[in-house]
Amino acid sequence: MDAQISVRDIVKVYPNGVVANKKVSLDIQEKTIHAIVGENGAGKTTLTKILFGLELPQEGEIFVKGKKVHFRSPIDAIKMGIGMVHQHFMLAENLTVFENLILGIEPTKFKIFLDKKTAKEKILKYIEKYKIDIPLEKKIKELPIGVKQRVEIFKALLRDVDILILDEPTAVLTPQEAEVLFESLRELKNQGETIIFISHKLKEIKAIADVITIMRDGRVISTNSNEELTQHDIARLMVGREVSFERVEEPKEIGKVVLTVKNLTYTNSERIKVLKNINFEVREGEIVGIAGVEGNGQTELVELITGLKTPTEGEIRLFDENISGKSVREIRTRGLVHIPEDRMKNGVAEKAKLKENLISDRYYKPPFSNKGALNYNYIDSEANRLVKDFNIITQSIENPVSSLSGGNIQKVIVTRELSSNPKVIIASQPARGIDVGSEELVHNFIKEARDKKCAVLLVSADLDEILKLSTRVLVIYNGEIVKSFNEVSTLRAEDLGPYMLGVKRGD
């Protein structure tokens, strides 16, 4: 049987000399969901960009449906029936779904949409065919992220592609939204689509993939059917060692209260009360997990604690001092660090060098600088040490952060925040977009900080992460803490679900 896509000995060297694909060969069969997994920087995105005509390889051959192709742009790829949904959506926020769908297709090139009526007919036909639920008259900006993604997928389908590439489509989705996406993908497969799926969530890979290809350091190291591999096998092949998914051991000693949130209320600029009378404490040596579907007030809660926003009512106390309304700098000097949920917005200066990002919170202090003069030798040796200790994959600390892969950028932030000997860690989705090996590393660093009596607040939509790390779990729904669980070792994701969805609430 001819494969839908055959890739032979692809080599990709970026202008900066990074060899991202080192003779990659791969066959993708028709009507399968083919997962590609691998560590951050393994070359997955590069390979899919080549398949979609966004990057040109230096060597190798690509065959699509038996025909040798030379893609110079996505237009060439689309003509051969290949579509790609990017992680960062490319929809016009102020237009409706319908307007975005017809925008996405240039009538002159495709001669499909000569008028709106024909367009609408085709769209309705495809909605029925693919059983994809999208609100045509709503504006994009009014839609939750999972629905925006459905629009992106639908836009690709409208171009009559039969091969769909999805690069980390679930990284930004809640578990509930991911489930809906998987239903659609299964339906698409039944309709004859071939799907290439990249994800770091091994549970998802096991749930959805027919075939699993593992990449490491620019090479394909194996391709197997799903049944041939367990989650542990995949992790081991990816990172070259055993990875633990077990719950971390309980803290030895829980000390005094470090962080107190008292009667905290926040009303946003649209006069919506997004947090309502929140109360909790975090003690030395414990990890308090906040579980919830994203968008239930977690973002604001973290912004209030870290000084990015000021409470409407109530107070936040750090070591018996009211810090509500204090600046980010003032709060940080008291030993509170923050791993932000949006790494590009609040986490790094993209154009700055890797080493500058690693020390941006401490360069003005000795021994990084003395009497205002920077100590470059010390800065370089310290940056190199951090890169090594935290396993950040890069050629040089002189490279801009933007040249790192997504997961490695996340590691830069975690490294900087956790290496400053914090007393309190506010961690939002700390493992988002990073590979299982790095995730374990980040989790171990958080656990080690806990064992050094650090107080940790962990906010995550990933229930496996919450259940693995937390000493106690609070569930947030619609701006309120609706339930608290003090015993986590026997807790399961299913126990949290009804509270997260607002179906149940505690006392």
The binding site for ligand ATP (CB under 6 A) comprises 14, 16, 18, 20, 38, 40-46, 403-407
Report the half-sphere exposure of 1 (CA within 13 A, side-chain side).
8
- The entry of ligand ATP, Mg ion, none near residue 289 (CB within 5 to 8 angstroms by kind) is none
CA 403 to chain centre: 17
> CA–CA distance from 420 to each of 269, 335, 338, 398, 417 (Å)?
34, 8, 11, 21, 6
Is 296 a binding residue for Mg ion by CB under 5 A? The answer is no
- The entry of Mg ion, ligand ATP, none near residue 337 (CB within 5 to 8 angstroms by kind) is none
Residue 392 DSSP code: -
Pick between residue 307 and residue 406 the one whose CB is nearest to ligand ATP.
Answer: 406
- The entry of Mg ion, ligand ATP, none near residue 18 (CB within 5 to 8 angstroms by kind) is ligand ATP
Pick between residue 44 and residue 309 the one whose CB is nearest to ligand ATP.
Answer: 44
Distance CA 364, CA 154 (A): 50
- The entry of Mg ion, ligand ATP, none near residue 38 (CB within 5 to 8 angstroms by kind) is ligand ATP
- The entry of ligand ATP, Mg ion, none near residue 437 (CB within 5 to 8 angstroms by kind) is none
Judging by DSSP bridges, how do beta strands 33-38 and 82-85 pair with one another? unpaired
Peptide bond into 367 cis (omega under 30): yes
Pick between residue 20 and residue 212 the one whose CB is nearest to ligand ATP.
Answer: 20
3-state secondary structure string across 22-90: EEEEEEECCCCEEEEEECCCCCHHHHHHHHCCCCCCCEEEEEECCEEECCCCHHHHHHCCEEEECCCCC
Pick between residue 307 and residue 437 the one whose CB is nearest to ligand ATP.
Answer: 437
For the residues of 134-146, what is the DSSP string, one character each?
--TTSBGGGS-HH
Distance CA 330, CA 414 (A): 20
Pick between residue 42 and residue 157 the one whose CB is nearest to ligand ATP.
Answer: 42
Distance CA 88, CA 390 (A): 27
Considering the complex, what minimum distance in angstroms separates the CB of residue 48 from ligand ATP? 8
Pick between residue 310 and residue 396 the one whose CB is nearest to ligand ATP.
Answer: 396
Name which of residues 20 to 59 contact Mg ion (CB under 5 A): 45
> CA–CA distance from 162 to each of 86, 120, 158, 189, 193 (Å)?
17, 21, 10, 9, 5
Pick between residue 43 and residue 479 the one whose CB is nearest to ligand ATP.
Answer: 43
Pick between residue 45 and residue 299 the one whose CB is nearest to ligand ATP.
Answer: 45
Considering the complex, what minimum distance in angstroms separates the CB of residue 41 from ligand ATP? 4
User: Which tokens sit at 274?
Assistant: 């997004």
Considering the complex, what minimum distance in angstroms separates the CB of residue 388 from ligand ATP? 16
Per-residue x/- marks for Mg ion, 437-456, CB under 5 A? --------------------
> CA–CA distance from 232 to each of 237, 240, 436 (Å)?
9, 11, 10
- The entry of ligand ATP, Mg ion, none near residue 450 (CB within 5 to 8 angstroms by kind) is none
Considering the complex, what minimum distance in angstroms separates the CB of residue 190 from ligand ATP? 28
Considering the complex, what minimum distance in angstroms separates the CB of residue 405 from Mg ion? 6
Pair 98, 179: CB distance under 8 Å: no
The alpha-helical segments, DSSP class H, found in 324-421 are 328-333, 354-359, 376-389, 406-418
Pick between residue 403 and residue 484 the one whose CB is nearest to ligand ATP.
Answer: 403
Considering the complex, what minimum distance in angstroms separates the CB of residue 79 from ligand ATP? 24
Determine the length of the chain: 507
Considering the complex, what minimum distance in angstroms separates the CB of residue 406 from Mg ion? 6
Pick between residue 42 and residue 473 the one whose CB is nearest to Mg ion.
Answer: 42
Cβ atoms within 10 Å of 160's Cβ, excluding its own: 14
Distance CA 490, CA 237 (A): 30
Distance CA 27, CA 5 (A): 6
User: Which tokens sit at 66?
Assistant: 């038996």
Residue nearest to Mg ion (CB): 45
Pair 285, 252: CB distance under 8 Å: yes
Pick between residue 39 and residue 177 the one whose CB is nearest to ligand ATP.
Answer: 39
Considering the complex, what minimum distance in angstroms separates the CB of residue 14 from ligand ATP? 3
Name which of residues 137 to 156 contact Mg ion (CB under 5 A): none
One-letter amino acid for residue 143 of the chain:
L
Pair 278, 261: CB distance under 8 Å: yes
Task: Please count the residues of this chain forming the interface with Mg ion, following the rule CB under 5 A.
Answer: 1
Considering the complex, what minimum distance in angstroms separates the CB of residue 123 from ligand ATP? 32
> Helices H, strands E: what count in the chain?
17, 22
Considering the complex, what minimum distance in angstroms separates the CB of residue 438 from Mg ion? 13
Considering the complex, what minimum distance in angstroms separates the CB of residue 44 from ligand ATP? 4
Considering the complex, what minimum distance in angstroms separates the CB of residue 276 from ligand ATP? 37
Pick between residue 16 and residue 268 the one whose CB is nearest to ligand ATP.
Answer: 16
Contact residues toward Mg ion (CB under 5 A) are 45
